[in-house]
Chain A
Amino acid sequence: MKLRNALFAASALVSVTATAALADGHATTLTIATVNNGDMIRMQGLTDDFTEKTGHTVEWVTLEENVLRQRVTTDITTNGGAFDIMTIGMYETPIWGANDWLVPLDDLSDDYNVDDILPAMRAGLSHEGTLYAAPFYGESSMIMYRTDLMEAAGMEMPDAPTWQFIREAAAAMTDRDNEINGICLRGKAGWGEGGAFITVTANSFGARWFDEDWNAQFDQPQWAEALNFYVGMMEESGPPGYATNGFNENLSLFQQGKCGMWIDATVAASFVTNPDDSTVADSVGFALAPNSEGIEKKSNWLWAWALAIPAGTQKADAAKEFIEWATSTDYIELVAENEGWANVPPGARISLYENANYKDIPFAQKTLDSILAADPTDPTVDPVPYVGIQFVAIPEFAGIATEVSQEFSAAYAGQQTVEEALEKAQAITNEAMEAAGYR
């Protein structure tokens, strides 16, 4: 009798467990590596919506951008499988896609409407026409300026100014006695910091990193012109110690009313117009990033934080479901419903900029115009063998550009001349490219 009861209890337990498993279906837990920015934090808060719809749960691993880059690179190159989804940028995506380290996103559902992704973003996140990462948020760079100071200087900002106008306006707005600097720009060493900024500036002066045979081009007059212009303008109108200023330092200066103009990521627009944090929120205007007179290319970059699936994951189907959810138009509406239209992730989908609610946001149109003005497949005046505007999409670039930007920062700090910095940059780059077998 006891045995029969025990068998009955055991079979009941087995059937309950089986039923629970069936009800659960294919439910799984996804581990997602991501960066700490406002958009990603908001997504973490809304993940319950995804779990409700699919049954999958999510574990977030949030890291600082540079730490994340190192962490996910280690994992993907060793096929570690620690993450099911990785947040990566435009620099990594084509390189990793070419190495078959990412799962191609070529079978997303019809409802997802992949054609709604901004063409520039799609191009930057693809390799040979195959999409390897879905953009969650995109940005370019543009001018943010103080309308009150510009007016006081007796000048008017054009929609698309030249560098020469910017220099003149910066000098006119500078008021050293009141700690107002006409212009604040990145000078900090690092390929993603000052390195990115000086690269796009050089593009707009007609310079390029490499010729078609991968020879470094720092010995060309365009680079000297761009760098001398930048140093001259910053010495006239920039903040003291600009050689160590990056995004956050300039954001802080601008929010405290100490910059007349700031050229940086379009995402900064929401920060400088937020009255909770910015003392100048009600007097900020926007314009397209400048170009040098006679040069068509503007000094704006293109970047996207995108979600990609590493080839080592065992949960590719669930990961695709998450990516479709997180980068969909429905998600944008979910954010708008919970946090307002000013907080939806910008720069990824065409339909967002056709939305009447979003058009009311003061910086929306300029953000779109800036993104549309950037083409990662045609970044410079002269032809180049690479893709990327503020970077060169080859694995060696991060190391080379970090070293080169250190030399440039030393020139900004007055530790060496611009000519010396360019000479060293030329040698560093050619040596590294030779070692890597490009030359």
Chain B
Amino acid sequence: MARAVTTQRKALNTAIAWAIGLLIFFPILWTILTSFKTEAQAIADPPVFLFFDWTLENYAVVQERSNYMRFLWNSVFIAGGSTILGIIIAVPAAWSMAFVPSKRTKDILLWMLSTKMLPAVGVLYPIYLIFIKLGILDSRLGLTVVLMLINLPIIVWMLYTYFKEIPGEILEAARMDGASLRNEILYVLTPMAIPGIASTLLLNFILAWNEAFWTLNLTAAQAAPLTAFIASYSSPEGLFFAKLSAASTMAIAPILILGWFSQKQLVRGLTFGAVK
């Protein structure tokens, strides 16, 4: 009897989880479906769901109008570069905060996070002027550095949380065995925190990929990533939803595929230490 109740409950939970999952995924699904419709079908009322004349015309138009590969390469460079750079800086920072904390460590952590609370537009002009002076406006390098700085507090926080789960005695033992600080971090700490580092990498790559304020405001023709590619198909005067959906689908496809293949690592990393 007890087992029957458990099974029913499990089924109910599964059904609820699926319903929530579908609800969250629906806007993406709708975007993908709309990308295969004509502009007239895209705004049809009542909306058409699956039974329409599927067309690849929007993709053809988008391909013809835009240099998709350039936008894609810029996205890969900027998101990948900022994430790797962020990890390189954040690992030692998180190590010191987790294993050799000072009286001010918690304050520093909170202060770092507080920088995320400032609206980005508040510092647009100073950063824009710095970019002009340094001659890095519309450059991949400049954008990589900015996105790294923006995501650094999150990277440090995530790594700090993972590192705190690792017993300090293990590092102490390594030190007693004569390991240098570099070797301690590289060969003892890092392998133990791989799930956490992997999920931090993935999450920050996704955040950098989707970042749409700085990537639009600090680029023009050369360094514009896929967020600018999507923005170029949005129009308040004219119904181009099908083309916009095709552009959006092309922009999110790489990150969706990456997320799909790495979901196990992502979930494992995000729940690392959660049951303790």
Contacts and interface: CB of A to CB of B under 8 A. Distances in A.
Interface stretch (A37-45, A200-208, A340-348, A370-378): A37-45
B124 A74 contact: yes
Interface stretch (A117-125, A243-251, A381-389, A398-406): A243-251
Interface stretch (B165-173, B217-225, B258-266): B217-225
A60 B239 CA distance: 21
Contact of B137 (A64, A66, A80, A267): A80
A41 B236 contact: no
Contact of A61 (B128, B224, B233, B234): B224
A37 B138 contact: no
A342 to B, nearest CB: 15
Contact of A247 (B38, B137, B221, B236): B236
B52 to A, nearest CB: 15
Interface string B205-223: 0000000000011001110
A61 B124 CA distance: 20
B236 A248 contact: yes
Interface in A240-297: 246-248, 251-252, 255-256, 258, 265, 267, 271, 276-277
Contacts of A265: 237
Nearest to A192: B236
A193 B231 CA distance: 19
Nearest to B236: A65
A193 B237 CA distance: 10
B125 A78 contact: yes
Contacts of B137: 80-82
Contacts of A66: 236
Interface in B112-140: 124-125, 128-129, 132, 137-138
A78 B232 contact: no
A124 B88 CA distance: 54
Contact of A64 (B40, B128, B236): B236
A49 interface: no
Interface stretch (A28-36, A96-104, A147-155, A225-233): A28-36
Interface centre among B43, B217, B235 (most CB of A within 10 A): B235
A59 interface: yes
B45 interface: yes
A95 to B, nearest CB: 18
Nearest to A271: B238
A176 interface: no
Interface in A66-80: 66-67, 70-71, 74-75, 77-80
A358 to B, nearest CB: 21
Nearest to A193: B236
Nearest to A70: B217
A60 B216 contact: no
Interface string B7-51: 000000000000000000000000000000011100111000000
B231 A60 contact: no
Given A61-B221, A74-B124, A276-B40, A36 B216 contact: no
B20 to A, nearest CB: 27
B239 A251 contact: yes
A83 interface: yes
A80 B125 CA distance: 11
Given A63-B231, A64-B231, A276-B40, A71 B237 contact: no
Chain A at the B interface: SS class: mixed
A6 B85 CA distance: 44
A31 to B, nearest CB: 5
Contacts of A64: 231-232, 234-236
Contact of B43 (A36, A70, A192, A256): A256
Nearest to B61: A41
A222 interface: no
A77 B128 CA distance: 11
A426 interface: no
A67 B234 CA distance: 10
Q: Which of B39, B132, B237 has the most CB of A within 10 A?
A: B237
B125 A74 contact: yes
B65 interface: yes
Contacts of A192: 236
Nearest to B232: A62
Contact of A65 (B39, B221, B222, B237): B237
A36 B132 contact: no
B99 interface: no
Contacts of A78: 125, 128-129, 132
B49 to A, nearest CB: 17
Interface of A: 31, 33, 35-38, 41, 44, 59-67, 70-71, 74-75, 77-83, 192-193, 246-248, 251-252, 255-256, 258, 265, 267, 271, 276-277
Given A62-B232, A80-B128, 7 more contacts: A31-B220, A31-B221, A63-B232, A66-B236, A78-B129, A255-B40, A277-B40
30 contacts: A31-B221, A36-B232, A36-B240, A37-B235, A37-B238, A59-B221, A63-B216, A63-B231, A65-B235, A65-B236, A67-B231, A74-B124, A74-B128, A77-B125, A78-B125, A78-B128, A78-B129, A79-B132, A81-B132, A82-B137, A82-B138, A193-B236, A248-B235, A251-B238, A252-B43, A252-B45, A255-B239, A258-B45, A271-B239, A277-B239
Interface of B: 38-40, 43-45, 65, 124-125, 128-129, 132, 137-138, 216-217, 220-222, 224, 228, 231-240
In the complex, the 9 A-B pairs of residues with the closest C-beta atoms, listed nearest first = A59-B221, A62-B232, A64-B234, A82-B220, A36-B235, A252-B43, A31-B221, A277-B40, A61-B220
